[in-house]
Structure 1
C-alpha cells in the first residue's frame, strides 16, 4: 500500500465516514445503475452514468479504510487503491474500471458516439456485480456502516 506516499503528495486525505454517508453513496450508485439502464439515453450518456456508479461504489471501501482521494487524478487513484482495500482479487476489475475512465473521458470531452451498446451492457453488468461485492464486503467488514 502506498497510502503514506499519496498522503504526503496530498493526493489522499484522511476521512472519517459514517453510516449516513455510506448509505447515501449506496443510494447514489443504485440511482446511477437505474439511470444507466434507460434506453432513451445515448450510449455515451449511459456509459458515463454507469461509470459514475462504479466510481461511487469504489469510493465506499476507500472511505471505510479512512481515506478519500483529492485533487488531480482522483478517479484513477480511487480505482488504483481498490485492490489494496478490498483485496488483490479486485485488481483486474480496478484495471477495467480505469479503462472505462479513459473511454468516458473521450466520450465526455473529445467526441461523442464512440461507445457501443455492448460496451454499455458490459459495464452495467460489471458494476451491478461489483455493487453486490461491495455490499458483501460491507457486511463482512463494516456492519456498523450498513
Structure 2
C-alpha cells in the first residue's frame, strides 16, 4: 500500500507544508526529548515524552511527503503511513513506536506503574536515533524544507 492508497481510503489528507512547519515539529521533538531526559519525573512521563518526540519527527517526515493524518486515529496512522514510505531499515523502530503508542495510551489514561526504567530507556534511545535519522532524510530528500531545522 502507498501513501496515495491511504489517501484514497480516507486515512490520510493531502498537506502542503513549509520549512517553518517542519522546523516547528522538530522543535517540538527536541523539547520532548529534553523533557524525557529529566530524572525528576516518572519513567511513565519520560516514556510518553520520548514517544511524542518520535511522533513529532514522524509527522514532519509525513508532511514533507505531502500528507497529514486526520485527527481520528492520528497516532496509529502516523506509524502506518511511515511504514509505507520509510525503507526496511526503519522496520524495527516503527514496530517499537507502534507498541509504544498502545502502552503510552494505557499509561496516560488507565494505569500507573505500567512502564519501567528499562522500557523508558529503550524508547528514549530509539527516539533520539529516529529523530536524527528523519532529520537527515529530510535534509537529503527535501532540501527546500530543511532550512530552519535546528
TM bucket normalised to smaller: over 0.9
Per the TM alignment, residue 112 of structure 1 is displaced from its structure 2 partner at its CA by: 1.0
1:38-83 alpha-carbon deviations (Å, 9 max, x no partner): 0111111111111111110111111011000113222111111113
| Residue pairs, 1:46-57, within 5 angstroms | 46-57=46-57
Consecutive unaligned residues of structure 1, counting only runs of 5 or more, are: none
TM superposition score normalised by structure 2:
0.91
| Residue pairs, 1:59-138, within 5 angstroms | 59-138=59-138
Whether the aligned pair in 1 keeps the contact of 2:2 and 2:85 (CA below 8 Å) is no
Whether the aligned pair in 2 keeps the contact of 1:62 and 1:78 (CA below 8 Å) is yes
* C-alpha distance in structure 2 between counterparts of 1:138 and 1:9, whole Å: 26
Per the TM alignment, residue 24 of structure 1 is displaced from its structure 2 partner at its CA by: 0.4
RMSD of aligned alpha carbons: 1.3
Consecutive unaligned residues of structure 2, counting only runs of 5 or more, are: none
Alpha carbons of structure 1 residues 83 and 9: separation in structure 2 relative to 1, 3 Å: closer
TM superposition score normalised by structure 1:
0.93
* C-alpha distance in structure 2 between counterparts of 1:138 and 1:71, whole Å: 24
Residue aligning to 2:7: 7
Q: Secondary structure at the match of 2:114?
A: coil
User: Which protein has greater RCO, CA pairs closer than 8 Å, 6+ apart?
Assistant: 2
Per the TM alignment, residue 4 of structure 1 is displaced from its structure 2 partner at its CA by: 3.8
